[in-house]
Structure 1
Amino acid sequence: MSLIFSLPSILEESRREYCKIKESLESGPKFFPVEKIYHRKSEESSLLARGDNLDFIQYLLREKKMEGKLQLAYLDPPFYSKASYDAVIRLKSEAVGDVPAIKPLAYEDLWKTGIEEYLRMLCVRFFLIRDLLSEEGCLWVHLDWHVVHYVKILLDAIFGEKNFVNEVVWHYKSGGTGKRNFSRKHDTLLFYGKSRHYYFRPLKEKSYNRGYKPYRFKGVKEYKDELGWYTMVNMKDVWQIDMVGRTSGERTGYATQKPEQLLERIIESCSRPGDCCADFFCGSGSFAAAAEKLSRTWIACDIGGIAAACSLKRMSVKKSAFVLLEECPDRQGDELEIRLQVEPIDLTDKKLVTVTLDGYTMDMKRVSLKREDREILKKFRKKDPLQLLEYWSVDFHYDGRVHNPQFSFPKENHTMEKVCRQIVSDTGKISVRAVDVFGNSSLKVLDMGEVPECEREMEE
């Protein structure tokens, strides 16, 4: 039987689940702030969450009171490709030597009971995201040939056929080829308004004259570049943008990474500076990076550890102000080797505190890898363990609840700062938090009042 006959039941089952979630919203899933990163003063902070986006959307509705507050939602879910996707993690160290890239699983696009399970997963989220959107809000759903036609029908039912705005085709050069089909070189983006009052600002693009020669029409502005003469027109619904190449500065190694240029067009056309924009399948953080560049407040969520680590590092490099949320509070452990040094400053009651990151003992039970990749990991664990970290940060005034660092150090070009200094006037607690390349976090709390005796001599 054709799937088309199952769509009404998929829609109705999803609606029932949505209503059940709304009824029990007050006792829904929790998220805990584990790190607050403020590189600048900001009343409204962006959010990066690691966890199931269905749980996170409920958290936004319940705890953040965000119903009707979101201007733009972008969804880049799995495409129902029935495949698994690996990330590419390149570790470099003179102590270890040349080794091949590690390829851990980034995410699976596999569905045990088939396409109906997949479509129900999307539908429930569509219903809840509709509640988050303002009356001027917009939804973009990024898919490809596998299921976009079915999803279009479901979105028509949830958002209304009259609120469908555009089908945008993203055309690129790379991608799959086959002997029994034309090469598949495009994705499809479905654009809906929450209502007929949705916000939209048309973007402009070049339209080259025939033969690249001037028309000289009265009242028509013409321009010339290295190719020839052109006019500026409203952007069409087919966008030719290159995928993120192997040598691109944007490249993170995350599977199915999208180019920032693509996302900038969506954000610029459907939101204003200061608006809140969300990506609930954020992957490597491309949407958040584009939103940050365009001065939007952003919300990003992904269930994958590698995605969370990649986004955390990426947004820290951009010096974004954001709060990191997880479904469980941080646990304290001894994976991090930290050296603490406290030195008095002459004629003051202040002290110079130096925190040195000396080592990291990765718990191999927390990672799932192929045998050959595990052997590479063991070499780094023994000879250069800090290469296994993606990011670390220091809070010199830890309040015992949330790690609120004054300094954060993402790894850039395979190097990372290992020493952090701060002048303090108290001798409270210091927290050091680190995240490894697989997204595993480690928190260590140090008491400046309990500095080891050999370093206390420096004070005396």
Structure 2
Amino acid sequence: MGTLKDLTKVIEQAQRQVANTGSVEFTMLEEVNPMKSRSVRRADAEECVDNKMYYGDNIRLLKSLAEREENRGKLKLIYIDPPFFSEARYDAVIRVSGSNIRHPAYDDKWQQGLYGYLRQLTARLILMRELLADDGLIWLHLDWHVVHYARIIMDELFGEKNFVNEIIWTYKSGGSGRRRFARKHDNILVYSKTKHYTFNVLKEKSYNRQFKPYRFKGVKEYRDELGWYTMVNMKDVWHIDMVGRTSAERTGYATQKPEQLLERIVECCTEPGDLCADFFCGSGTLPAVAARMGRSFIACDRGRLAVESTIGRLCAQGAGFRVYVEEPEHRTEGIRKSRFEAEVHMSMEGFPGSDKSLVTIRLGSVREHRLPPGMEEKSRTVIRKAVRNSPLDLIEAWSVDFDYDGRVHRPSAVFVRNKKGLEDVCRQIVGPDCRRICVKIADVMGNVFYVDRPCTQIRSDAQ
């Protein structure tokens, strides 16, 4: 493929795919920090919007959202970082018991080649346009592999006159070759839906020649350790480092984007209370940044590891959000039927002369039932060793709902692994109205295991 004629067919087939895609109902599975799950209310906003994380196929989610009138034209910012058509498989690098394991993150190989890749991307862009606000911007993050094709497709879908910028994100990391210059940048295409998009001009330093003062009349100059500079409107080439191996924000997820990059994007085209979306959310940088900056978010990914990485990241920063799963596939395959099993000890001790009790929950051993088929033997060996010697090293996060209703996990206690490790004991005082307790445990590979028990059983076991 390589002609304009082929691109026309891509768009036609993508439109047919959109028409044939059925919408689905997503079921709420989890609600974390409900009092914080809504963004700051803007003075001109009709209502606050809940932060939402979806686990499922993004095209079915997009179709479901676009079919509802109340969702169309509501997204102030859409940022997507889809696969780049690199024809490679990507692993997450995860630390377990002092060693690194490599876990499959996502596959960027396409059976139908470039044509199939562009058709899938275009179908999703068609639906995203329906959801983009008239004053919003969409940011499509790619690189040299297909950005030239994507530019033509975006011109067709959004209009040539609605092209706003091509941002060049340049960085130091990456390899180099002897047959070409080192490829050290990504391309981010920015489009609007109308001419009335929001844009907040950002400023950056511009150093004077030889770092000496100009002393021009009316021009304010500043000085730092390098020399003299002025503040100018930001250019379309952004020098931002990739997420380094020792970076505090590093999750280990493949192709993780830095928060500084997303902070700049969010700041330049949204205000507190605006709704942002990332339908290829990966490690969750956009929802993490949006929540911290007072914006609402919609995030989606079909990968178990991506979803749980995002949930853990949001929990660690105290964000509020809801988690939805696609029915029936993901509820049966990815959520309730786990690839691992954890031992959980629960006890309940009453207080003399009181109707309240102290609940103690302690994590025990871990058993991994099925390791990913694409995992290398070295990583499998590390995991098997951890199961025998330090099973809690395989747990990334866990949470407890002390008032489980049998449907939605609403934890009041959340524990996420950090540099100091992971707490393995939870204690909480409960009243006589405590009926059922649910514990959710996520391992380092994104697998989830639930244990829920009635309080009557916990009391009887303690006796």
Give the shorter-chain TM-score range.
over 0.9
**Alpha-carbon deviations, 1:7-48, whole Å to 9, x = none?**
111111112222334xx5xxx223222111016444433112
What amino acid is the match of 1:236? Answer: K
Q: Does 1:73 align with 2:78?
A: yes
Deviates more, 1:170-179 or 1:10-19: 10-19
Query: What pairs up with 1:190-201 in 2 under 5 angstroms?
Result: 190-201=189-200
How far off its partner does 1:156 sit? 0.3
Query: 1:410 and 1:325 mapped to 2: Cα distance?
Result: 20
Which one of the candidate residues 395, 415, 419 is aligned to 1:413? 419
User: 443, 452, 457: which one pairs with 1:436?
Assistant: 443
Question: 1:4: which partner in 2?
Answer: 4
Pairs within 5 Å for 1:112-151 = 112-151=111-150
Whether contact under 8 Å (2:103, 2:372) holds in the other structure is no
- Structure 2 residue aligned with 1:447: 454
Partner residue in 2 for 1:109: 108
- More off after superposition, 199-208 vs 384-393: 384-393
Per the alignment, residue 28 of structure 2 pairs with 33
Aligned partner letter, 2:185: H
Question: In 1, Cα distance between the equivalents of 2:264 and 2:111?
Answer: 36
What is the total number of aligned residue pairs between the two structures? 445
Per the alignment, in what secondary structure is the counterpart of residue 102 of structure 2?
A: coil
Bigger drift between 69-78 and 288-297 goes to: 288-297
Separation in 2 of the partners of 1:62 and 1:424?
Answer: 43
Equivalent residue number for residue 209 of structure 1:
208
In the TM superposition, residue 117 of structure 1 has moved relative to its aligned partner by 0.3
User: Structure 1: 5+ residue runs without aligned partners?
Assistant: 93-97
* Structure 1 residue 112, shift from structure 2 partner: 0.9
- Give the match for residue 321 of structure 2: 322
Choose which of 60, 77, 81 in structure 2 pairs with 1:55: 60
Contact 1:332 1:445 in 2 (8 A): no
1:90 has 2:99 as partner: no
Q: Secondary structure at the match of 1:219?
A: coil
Structure 2 runs not aligned, ≥5 long? 39-48
Aligned to 1:401: 407
Contact (CA 8 Å) 1:309, 1:390: kept in 2 or not? Answer: no
- In the TM superposition, what whole-angstrom CA distance separates every residue of 1:336-376 from its partner, at most 9, and x where no partner exists? 31211112223321222122222322222566522232222
1:359 aligns with 2:353: no
Aligned equivalent of 2:46:
none
Q: Secondary structure at the residue paired with 1:88?
A: strand
Whether the 8 Å CA contact 2:37–2:321 is kept in 1: the answer is: no
The CA distance in 2 between the partners of 1:121 and 1:454, in whole Å, is 53
What secondary structure is seen at the aligned counterpart in 2 of 1:307? helix
Match of 2:422, SS? coil
Deviations along 1:219-278, whole A, 9 cap, x unmatched?
A: 111111111111111100011111111111111111111111111111100111111111
The sequence identity of aligned pairs, in percent, is 48
CA deviation after TM superposition for structure 1 residue 144, in Å: 0.6
CA–CA distance in 2 between the matches of 1:106 and 1:38? 28
| Amino acid aligned to 1:441 | V
Alignment of 1:227-242 (within 5 A): 227-242=226-241
Distance in 1 (alpha carbons) for counterparts of 2:31 and 2:359:
21
- Counterpart CA distance in 2 for 1:210 and 1:108 is 47
Q: Match for residue 295 of structure 1?
A: 294
Which whole-Å CA distance do the structure 1 matches of 2:454 and 2:358 have between them? Answer: 15
Alignment of 1:202-281 (within 5 A): 202-281=201-280
In structure 1, give the amino acid aligned to 2:7: L
Q: Quick check: 1:332–1:443 contact (8 Å CA) kept in 2? A: no
Deviation at 1:444, TM superposition (A): 1.0
| In structure 2, C-alpha distance between the alignment counterparts of 1:34 and 1:12, rounded to whole Å | 36
Query: Mapping of 1:162-177 within 5 angstroms?
Result: 162-177=161-176
Tell me if structure 2 keeps the 8 A contact 1:141–1:191.
yes
Distance 2:293 2:458 in 1: 45
**Separation in 1, partners of 2:186, 2:372:** 35
Q: In the aligned structure 1, how far is the partner of 2:430 from the partner of 2:337?
A: 23
**Which has the higher mean CA deviation after the structures are superposed, 186-195 or 344-353?**
344-353
Which of 361, 379, 383 is 2:385 aligned to? Answer: 379
Mapped contact 2:96–2:383 kept (Cα < 8 A) = no
RMSD: 1.9
Counterparts in 2 of 1:41 and 1:187: CA distance versus 1, 3 Å = closer
Distance in 2 (CA, whole Å) between partners of 1:63 and 1:387 is 44
1:264-320 deviations in Å (ceiling 9; x for gaps): 111100111111111111111112222122111122211222212221211111111
Aligned to 1:388: 394
Q: Measure how far apart 1:83 and its partner are.
A: 1.0
TM-score by length of structure 2 reads 0.92
Q: Quickly say closer, same or farther: Cα 1:205–1:173, change in 2 above 3 A.
A: same
Range 377-386 or range 403-412, more displaced:
377-386
Q: Which deviates more, 245-254 or 74-83?
A: 245-254
Measured in 1, the distance between the counterparts of 2:180 and 2:137 equals: 34
1:264/1:16 CA distance change after superposition, 3 Å: same
The whole-number CA distance in structure 2 between the counterparts of 1:64 and 1:407 is 37
CA distance in 2, matches of 1:154, 1:41: 38
Q: In structure 2, what is the Cα distance between the partners aligned to 1:82 and 1:348? A: 64
Pick closer, same or farther for the CA change 1:368–1:82 going to 2, 3 Å. closer
User: Aligned residue for 1:95?
Assistant: none
State the SS of the aligned residue for 2:8: helix
SS in 2 for 1:103: strand
Amino acid of the structure 1 residue aligned with 2:424: K
**Structure 1 CA distance for aligned equivalents of residues 413 and 74 of structure 2:** 31
Counterpart selection for 1:422 from 428, 442, 445: 428
Residue 298 of structure 2 aligns to a residue whose secondary structure is strand
TM-score by length of 1: 0.92
Asked if the contact 1:427–1:449 (Cα under 8 Å) also holds between the matched residues in 2, the reply is: no
SS at match of 1:89: strand
Q: Alignment partner of 2:83: what SS?
A: coil
CA shift for structure 1 position 436: 1.3
Question: Take 1:356 and 1:297, find their aligned partners in 2: how far apart are those partners?
Answer: 34
Is contact 1:387-1:414 (8 Å) kept?
Answer: no
For the residue of structure 1 that corresponds to 2:248, the secondary structure is coil
